[in-house]
Amino acid sequence: MKEQILTMAREAGLCQPWQEKIVQDSSIENLCKMYFAGDDWAMEKDFPSLEVLRHFRGQTEVYGLFTDYTGMPNNLSKAAFFGSSNVQLTYTAFSVSQLILRHQTEAKIRVCDNAVLIINILDAAKLNIECIDNARVEVFAYGNENIKMLGDVRIHKSKF
């Protein structure tokens, strides 16, 4: 499957230096780190596919990629939810975090204290967010308006 990932990345137009990174280290850990480092390209190209993400389900969560996940993780510094995930998240204290919501993910999020959260939302994902105290949330909505909010939540309509 890892060889197929490289083939799919090439077909999607991944640049040569990043192709070489995959050839040098195709570990799950490295591929997940590369996802976050190149999340703009990955989101635009819908890469990796949901099929690939589901194949590695159970192996990627430790690195922040959650597929068809149900749960309540808190203060994750970087996380991406795919497929039919259903999550309740809380961000507190002085945490600064990045979150990506894709496919049919449903997320209920509470951000408080002095936390800062940046969210990218795509596809048919749904977001219900409460931002209180001195917290701040920036949401970059890529053609998605399934957002309910309370508090200091700033929505930016974005394109690739």
- Residue 143: phi and psi, rounded to 5, are 70, 15
Going along 60-157, which residue ranges are E strands? Answer: 65-67, 70-71, 78-82, 86-91, 96-101, 106-111, 116-121, 126-131, 136-141, 147-151, 153-157
pLDDT tens digits for 101-145?
999 999 999 999 999 999 999 999 999 999 999 999 999 999 998
What's the pLDDT at 74? 86
SS3 90: strand
CB-CB neighbours of 40 under 10 Å: 11
**pTM to 2 decimals?**
0.95
